[in-house]
Amino acid sequence: MKIIIMAWRNIWRTPWRSLVVIGAMSLGVWSGIFMMGWINGLNDQRTISMLDDNVGHGRICSKDFLEKPEVFSTINNLEALSNRLVADSNVTTFSSRVICNSMIQAGSGSAPIIAYGVNPNNEKKVFKSVQNISSGEFLKGQVGDEVVLGEALARKLEVDIDDRVVLTFQDINGDVRSALFWLVGIYDGASSMIEESIIYVPSKTISFQMGLIDSIELSNESQIIAHEINYRVKNPYEIGKANNALESSFLKNRNSESQSIVFRTWKEVSPDLGVADAILSQSLLLFMMIILLAMSFGILNTMLMAILERTRELGMLMAIGMNKKKIFKLIVSETILLSFVGLPFGLFLGHISLLVTSKTGITLKSVEQGFEQMGLEATVYPSVVPEYYLPIVGLVLILSFLSSIYPAIKALKLNPIESMRVL
């Protein structure tokens, strides 16, 4: 305890120099935490944007369709699955899709696309891309010769509202079929890639064209066939628990045929989003460690200067009986205290800054177009990152200790008699 008291007093013998180091540590921790929150918020926005646009929180399909997306690989027990989703308290909404790999043709060209046969009312509840209609309107029902394209694809094909397009695809028997559709809407997707590759058509119309249902089933009000089901939960970051519970509850009392159903989370549907989250946490800590490492060199330099100025004093302490172990503890204690005085101020400033900007947002007008290409808004809302505060404290402790070793060794090498002669 006496060593700590001595170390604390020694810090304030040169207050201005200590305040500069403490201020630098505070600013370093503040800037590191703020950047971590900003980057984390940007990644969260990107993830949520992709989930809301096309991925969804969870996806259900048959094992056969996952391995090889054939026309006939539809979901068995669609009605039972729908009932289970309705009954699950974690699931907020869901939508079924019929998937058709097609070639779209217009007057000025053609392009390979994926046609989603959807129920418009359900699709609007799950995905925002179908709500962001920049021109025209979305589909009105499950039956009709309407089609909705992305902005990028519409520009590529040079088509506009009320123009005709032709879809060419294979039916359930492997025969090539063509169908004429009228363009009724153009949507604004999260990225140009999505806009160029995905279109929307009425589910029952495309199912009938593909030979999946007959004319009698075409008039049925409920959707009776689908290749996949996309659903949303209350918290997308807890989708693992919700997905496992949903899978267990559905498969528990079903027959062997139901075991071919595959339940996937958004991290499995879009692995790049899951990997980005995993890499980000490690990258942010590495980023913070670089900042603190730079700060530790400043502390190291300060302690070396302090030892140089106190050579006579340290020699005196050794001469009156303070052993090398206590000298070492004194130097280490001074270094750690110097670092830890600035740490709480940095943590406090960083936390307050993130709390404020998480509500107000930070608008970056200069990169607005680039952000739009990635499906992001120009206003970024940083997120508060309390989960990183404890690791930061640990990093400061470790780096402070490491930066104190060389000055402490330097002090231990002093000769008491020669040191007392220094003016």
Residue in the block written with tokens 């097609």: 102
Residue 105 backbone phi and psi in degrees, to 5: -125, 140
Residue 193: predicted pLDDT = 82
**Residue 181 CA: distances (Å) to CA of 30, 141, 147:** 57, 14, 6
DSSP 3-state assignment of 422? Answer: coil
Give the residue among 224, 218, 256, 259 at the shortest CA–CA distance from 74. 224
CA angle 268, 49, 275 (to 5 degrees): 35
Q: Which residues in the chain come in under a pLDDT of 70? A: 215-223, 253-259, 365-378, 415-423
Write down the H helix ranges in 158-238.
Answer: 192-197, 203-209, 215-218
Q: Are 203 and 98 in contact (CB under 8 A)?
A: yes
The pLDDT, as a whole number, for residue 283 is: 79
Q: What are the φ and ψ backbone dihedral angles of 103, each rounded to 5 degrees? A: -120, 125
CA dihedral (397, 401, 404, 410) in degrees, to 10, reads 170
Pair of tokens at residue 4 = 């700590």
Q: Is 321 left (phi over 0), alpha (psi -120 to 50) or beta?
A: left
Q: What are the phi and psi torsion angles at 385 (to 5°)?
A: -125, 65
Residues in contact with 212: Cβ distance below 8 Å, sequence separation at least 6, in sequence order: 71, 72, 74, 98, 172, 225
Alpha helices by DSSP H, 200-265: 203-209, 215-218, 239-251
Where along the chain do its domains lie? Answer: 2-50+274-420, 56-269
What pLDDT, on a 0 to 100 scale, did the predictor assign at position 7?
76
CB of 346 within 8 A of CB of 19?
A: no
For residues 134 and 189, give the distance between their C-alpha atoms in angstroms, rounded to a whole number: 10
User: What is d(CA 100, CA 117) in angstroms, rounded to the nearest whole number?
Assistant: 8
Task: Evaluate whether 59 touches 230 at the Cβ level (below 8 Å).
Answer: yes
The pLDDT of residue 290: 84
pLDDT score for 375: 59
Of 79, 96, 115, 64, give the one whose Cα is nearest residue 230: 96
**From its phi and psi, is residue 158 left (phi > 0), alpha (psi between -120 and 50) or beta?**
left
Phi, psi for 382 (deg, rounded to 5): -60, 155
Do strands 379-380 and 198-202 pair parallel, antiparallel, or not at all (unpaired)?
A: unpaired
3 close to 330: Cβ distance less than 8 angstroms: yes
**Model pLDDT, residue 103:** 93
Q: Tell me which amino acid residue 276 is.
A: A
